[in-house]
Structure 1
Amino acid sequence: MIKQEPLKIALVGNPNLGKTTLFNKLCGLKQHTGNYPGVTVDKKKGEFIRSNKKYVVTDLPGINSLYPTSKDEELVVKYLMNQQSNDFPDKIVLMLSALNLKRNLYLYEQIRDLNIPMVVAVNMVDVGAKRGVFVDIEQLKAKLDVPVVQISAKSGEGFDELFSYLNQPLKISERPQLYIQQEDQEYLKKFADVRAEKNLYINFLRLTDVSLEADKSHKDAFIEGNNLNVRSWKKNASILRYKHIKSYLNDVLTIDKAKATDFTSRIDRILLHPVFGYLIFLAIIFLIFQSIFWIADYPMGWIESLFEQIQVSLTALLPEGYLSRLVTEGLVPGIGGVVIFIPQISILFFFFSILEESGYMSRIVYLTDRLMQGFGMSGKSIVPLISGMACAIPAIMSARTIENSRERLITILVTPLLTCSARIPVYVLLIALIVPDKDIGIFNQQGLALMAMYLLGVLMTFIVAFILKNIMKPTYKSYLLMEMPEYLTPGIKNVLISMWTNVKSFIWNAGKIIVATTIVLFVLVTNGGEDFKNAESIVTENYPELSEEELENKIASYEQENSYLGTIGKAIEPAIAPLGYDWKIGIALISSLAAREVFVGTISVIYSVGSEEILPIRDRLKAEINPKTGLPAFSFATCISLLLFYAFSLQCMSTVAVTYKETKSLKWTLLQFGYMTLLAYFMALIAFQLLK
């Protein structure tokens, strides 16, 4: 029985140290993401129980120093400075890496002066030894004068010692001010007295960084009144800290490359090659998309059969009535139409997680930096862009790590052009209608078509970015500074946790929208005005020569066209007819404004209502005939038009909302929605008119 209050722990450190690996190892599936109050900066929290004690862990975004250069760094610094907050941790675990100890120690030296109870966890000591980098943990503990443990975030080695320190009373007392010249210390103490803040380093940060002081007028008056050069303070503080680090670094760190058994450097010569590096990257992406079709084929078939059986069973079990029809003709086809694509989405997230866990994602950032600079972005833009292939919403939010405001804005504006996981159900459905499920050599034709859609999104992303680059002039040139993590064998547990977290988010978010949309659509398509109510008598009178089966089909079609949903669809049909779409496709386009994948659910509902045949949605669409032209409703030209429309349109309103939150600009939000909508419409129009 756990009675005591949980121990609140915050994980802090530079990027790419294994912090998230440690978080996943500790919390497993008992974790969730949220936002800091009032802002859209990710905050990952988890909890676990160890030795009958509950722990609540916050995984803070990686920061390079307490001098913030991006929004997430600024929020982390403010979080660490606000020691009166209810959310403030009891202790922090500050992670260092044996591979980049000198740089990591700079952040330690800054956080040390905040006097927060902490345990220093040194990760990847064994990996460092393979590279000829040796850390003396006992010496480091003596020099830092705080608890220091050697851990392996991946295997859990050293966790017992880590928790033994976390469960002890830890007090970090104030030390001499190593970060400021002797002659300036009195000014700092004077400012501290005025602000009634006891911690001198917090006052130093507030004085030297404009983003960290709420009362800027008071600060400015103090600086001007005392004729202080706080820029010089900040610069000198870095020099003084590195001078202090140098005084003990040689005692704790030994580098002997002669003893290295270094795999990373050798493999990087190939993976970071200016030619072979790109070819290998493209080959990896190509294999991922082939796998999406190859591996997912069987589970998709099983899910399709399962939902068919569910529909048959429920139709037989449920009594006839409106609610029964809502379930069998609405909810089951609508949900099943999207659930069938979960295997493919899971595979995509699985491989992306492996790229991240292995350390290869950081190489992609480095490899593509020069290319990105030519399109107004930076190597850091590749992370949001690749993340955009999963979901544009967290991808746009992750762009906050880009320091240059112009590069960040361009990245945000073009990221939704990348094919996200919500487009996969639409692409797979339409590709299955026009591309044979056959192989060309060892390659699946549908897999090649899916990759072509991804490459089309990439191509358009760079075209639009290049245009924006020439419209938005730079204010300064940015440079990429980053550390290359060691290559690691991906931990299968971490990969599966990451995959499940993303898939669960997709299921939950898409599921809510699809259920709500399905109910609304079903009500609209099964109700209407006088023509709808009198459909049977009108059709029977006008088509007396039809057989009983043909008459039933004609009545069902007439009811749909004259339902409330059909009336809405007919109203927008003139605008979309030049693209090759009828009113039913138009309704699916409108409903998918909530989320792109809703297109499939909507189509499934529209073509299932009133039909006694239980068929997979692909077979229904192949058999559908446009009553006006007598041609297939989903012809080659129409499917290509739809593929292009969904490749370029900004159909997801959540993406619009997050763009506005991140840019704080209605102008840029409307520009993004407007240019993507016009691009989608005219590309679809041209394609259909050329191919029809």
Structure 2
Amino acid sequence: MHTAVVYMHPAGPLVALVGNPNCGKTALFNRLTGSRQKVANYAGVTVERKEGRFALPSGKMLRLLDLPGTYSLHPRSPDERVTADVLAGRAKGEKRPDLAIVVVDATNLRRTLRLALAVKRTGLPMVVALNMLDLAKQRGLTIDAARLADALGVPVVETVAVEGGGADTLVRQLDDATLWQRPAAPASADAEVEADHAVVARLLAELGLDRAAPHLPSDRIDRIVLNPLLGLPLLAVVLFFVFQAVFSWAEAPMGWIEAATGWAAEGVGRLLADGWFKSLVVDGVIAGAGGVVVFLPQIVILFFFILVLEESGYLPRAAFLLDRLMGGVGLSGRSFIPLLSSFACAIPGIMAARTISNPRDRLVTIMIAPLMTCSARLPVYALLIGAFIPRREVGGFELQGLVLFALYVAGISGAMFIAWLAKHLTGHAFKAPLMMELPAYHLPRVRNVAIGLWQRIKIFLRRVGGIILALTVLLWFLSSYPAPPVGATGPAIEYSLAGTIGRALEAVFAPIGFNWQISVSLIPGLAAREVMVGALGTVYALSATGEETGALTALIAGQWSLATALSLLAWFVFAPQCLATLATVKRETGGWTMPLIMAGYLFALAYLASFITYHLALAAGWG
């Protein structure tokens, strides 16, 4: 084997990783590069750019660029345009790759080989990674990689990206100098694009893969899951079970964390002398950060189910089930994945809207994504539900889980209403039929679920140790200074800067039942939703004296009315977004107009919902 020529670029040759969505391309990227990755944006656009590095057997380093998934080099969305421009050398500020690795799905060569032929026409040296061979064998497909390589005129390497199979062979292939020195194929006329279908059909016939695909267990499952009558009720049952589990399964570990937080506060309080430093540590750090960490079990349980449903192949089916429903409000099933991503965080959901080709649908999806109940709201919901909703069963179901489910439904309903309103205000756009590939069902891989959970735990704890801790400490300072005047009888916080700000805001929020402590805690919540819980913990820790001290849940249960709690729940269903989300919308839409409109309509919606909820609760005698 020859040694690869790797001096083409000062930082090493650039290899582009190309493939259809869901072909295992990113799994192969992660397998090759490991932790040697950096994420940015392409110049002039907001499409994410992922680049990594890996070493060849000769010791030389290559740069690997994970291009956005695409079905062709004739783009219909911002993501697809980036891929086409990079391969053609038209991308602003981006060097044209020296070589392309085209990842093809062995279970669907009829579709994925068309992209391989299109990349070959660009004239780039290339190698084909024949991925998902394990699934192909399960379906009874036998693919002769050598014959496929002869037919395509490029090297073909067998891989199973999720398990690392074939990665070493692929790396050794890239160390072959003849691959890099292969003369570029002449560019073909666009007319040949239409001939790709015939070329692929001929290749499959030569390989003996042109027979009809066998009926799979997934097909039999889909007769039930995608049934027009059974599909939506089944989806509702699945989601309902998830929300029930979030409360019932998390009760014990939440109790352990809450007890540990109390022991830590008590132990540290005994060790430190009275003074500002003790107050900072006990009332600021432990009360603030500990009040948020206690909800980690619920977040872990929620993401566990999301990852299991994603790994099993069920989530893409939900897009088809909801396509007709979303069509009634002027959207399509294409909006489902961005909206689903927003249940974790609105930011990746908004960024995922780039895959929607229709500009109007993309903008509406961005504007309603924040109404999906993101994980940052969960600590607030859990705090209020745990404090005010009794633990009892209604019709065989946990009442607390029913309330949480209703809050998620309220957010979704609000989003659909805004989309419907936009449809009638802007005119009904043409609704393209939804076409999406449904992966085969399979048992979730424990390793993938565990890695996904660990990543989300790290993100959550990093936020607790970063922005949440910083803001709770800042709020402690505002709540502790200036010192109360001589002869003051109330808690010191009432005379502090935070108390002054809270009293001013109380005039605005009193009509919806918020006291000054709630009002001042809303401010740090603009940076991150879950900071609201830490802020309340700090404010009430500094407000409480003597017998009033205790867990935050018990404190607010004794001091707030049920009407106030329900009003605050309604507020957070529609509350204005965190600043990071508004900044993302600004980048995605190219200006501040849409973020300002978003902040304005969300504030108005939240205030209206809280006002109605509060006064209905008062009328019901829950004041």
Mapping for residues 462-473 of structure 1, pairs under 5 Å: 462-473=416-427
Q: 1:590 aligns with which of 516, 519, 523?
A: 523
- The letter for the 2-side match of 1:306 is A
Task: Spell out, residue by residue over 1:597-656, the C-alpha distance to the aligned partner (whole angstroms, 9 max, x if none).
Answer: 1110110000112646662211122233xxxxxxxxx21100000000110112312111
- The letter for the 1-side match of 2:282 is T
- Aligned residues of 1:133 and 1:257 also touching (Cα < 8 A): no
Q: 2:351 aligns with which of 387, 394, 397?
A: 397
1:17 deviation in Å?
1.1
Q: 2:258 aligns with which of 301, 304, 307?
A: 304
What's the secondary structure of 1:93's corresponding residue? strand
Cα distance 1:372–1:256, how it changes in 2: closer, same or farther (>3 A)?
same
Q: Larger deviation: 581-590 or 40-49?
A: 40-49
1:109 aligns with 2:133: no
- Aligned residues of 1:29 and 1:497 also touching (Cα < 8 A): no
- The letter for the 2-side match of 1:573 is E
- Aligned residues of 2:57 and 2:175 also touching (Cα < 8 A): no
- Aligned residues of 1:385 and 1:395 also touching (Cα < 8 A): yes
Cα distance 1:252–1:650, how it changes in 2: closer, same or farther (>3 A)?
farther
- Aligned residues of 2:56 and 2:175 also touching (Cα < 8 A): no
Q: 2:197 aligns with which of 242, 245, 255?
A: 242
Q: Which residue of 2 aligns with 1:600?
A: 533
Task: Spell out, residue by residue over 1:309-328, the C-alpha distance to the aligned partner (whole angstroms, 9 max, x if none).
Answer: 22122212233331232111
1:577 aligns with 2:480: no
Q: In the aligned structure 2, how far is the partner of 1:574 from the partner of 1:68?
A: 53
- The letter for the 2-side match of 1:240 is A
Q: Which residue of 1 aligns with 2:573?
A: 647
TM-score (norm 1): 0.82
- The letter for the 1-side match of 2:159 is I
- The letter for the 1-side match of 2:348 is P
What's the secondary structure of 2:161's corresponding residue? coil
- Aligned residues of 1:588 and 1:603 also touching (Cα < 8 A): yes
Q: Which residue of 1 aligns with 2:89?
A: 82
Cα distance 1:636–1:611, how it changes in 2: closer, same or farther (>3 A)?
closer
Q: Which residue of 2 aligns with 1:690?
A: 616
Cα distance 1:367–1:33, how it changes in 2: closer, same or farther (>3 A)?
farther
Q: Larger deviation: 240-249 or 309-318?
A: 240-249
1:616 aligns with 2:551: yes
1:68 aligns with 2:3: no
1:670 aligns with 2:572: no
Q: In the aligned structure 1, how far is the partner of 2:302 from the partner of 2:40?
A: 23
Mapping for residues 127-166 of structure 1, pairs under 5 Å: 127-131=135-139, 133-166=141-174
1:19 deviation in Å?
2.0
1:450 deviation in Å?
0.8
Cα distance 1:322–1:478, how it changes in 2: closer, same or farther (>3 A)?
same
Q: Larger deviation: 577-586 or 31-40?
A: 31-40
Mapping for residues 527-538 of structure 1, pairs under 5 Å: 527-528=481-482, 532-534=484-486, 537-538=487-488
1:656 aligns with 2:564: no
Task: Spell out, residue by residue over 1:113-153, the C-alpha distance to the aligned partner (whole angstroms, 9 max, x if none).
Answer: 33334321112234234445443322111111211122222
Identity rate, percent: 39
TM-score (norm 2): 0.90
1:93 deviation in Å?
2.6
Q: Which residue of 2 aligns with 1:167?
A: 175
What is the aligned residue count? 604
Q: Which residue of 2 aligns with 1:335?
A: 289
Q: In the aligned structure 2, how far is the partner of 1:275 from the partner of 1:524?
A: 56
Task: Spell out, residue by residue over 1:2-24, the C-alpha distance to the aligned partner (whole angstroms, 9 max, x if none).
Answer: xx977765432001112233344
Cα distance 1:30–1:295, how it changes in 2: closer, same or farther (>3 A)?
farther
1:379 deviation in Å?
0.8
Q: In the aligned structure 1, how far is the partner of 2:252 from the partner of 2:386?
A: 15
1:87 deviation in Å?
6.6
Q: In the aligned structure 2, how far is the partner of 1:142 from the partner of 1:83?
A: 31
Mapping for residues 20-419 of structure 1, pairs under 5 Å: 20-26=26-32, 33-46=39-52, 57-82=64-89, 91-131=99-139, 133-169=141-177, 170-171=179-180, 172-177=182-187, 179-180=188-189, 234=190, 236-257=191-212, 260=214, 262-419=216-373
Q: Larger deviation: 675-684 or 603-612?
A: 603-612
Cα distance 1:689–1:63, how it changes in 2: closer, same or farther (>3 A)?
same
Q: In the aligned structure 2, how far is the partner of 1:441 from the partner of 1:48?
A: 57
Q: Which residue of 1 aligns with 2:621?
A: none
Q: Which runs of 5+ in 2 are unaligned?
A: 1-6, 619-623
- Aligned residues of 2:56 and 2:172 also touching (Cα < 8 A): no
- Aligned residues of 2:31 and 2:167 also touching (Cα < 8 A): no
- Aligned residues of 1:28 and 1:497 also touching (Cα < 8 A): no
Mapping for residues 622-641 of structure 1, pairs under 5 Å: 622-624=557-559, 634-641=560-567
Q: Which residue of 1 aligns with 2:4?
A: none
Cα distance 1:436–1:57, how it changes in 2: closer, same or farther (>3 A)?
farther
Q: Larger deviation: 156-165 or 237-246?
A: 237-246
Task: Spell out, residue by residue over 1:194-237, the C-alpha distance to the aligned partner (whole angstroms, 9 max, x if none).
Answer: xxxxxxxxxxxxxxxxxxxxxxxxxxxxxxxxxxxxxxxx4x24
- The letter for the 1-side match of 2:24 is G
- The letter for the 1-side match of 2:184 is E
Q: Larger deviation: 348-357 or 595-604?
A: 348-357
Q: Which has the larger radius of gyration?
A: 1
Q: 1:15 aligns with which of 18, 21, 38?
A: 21
1:29 deviation in Å?
6.0
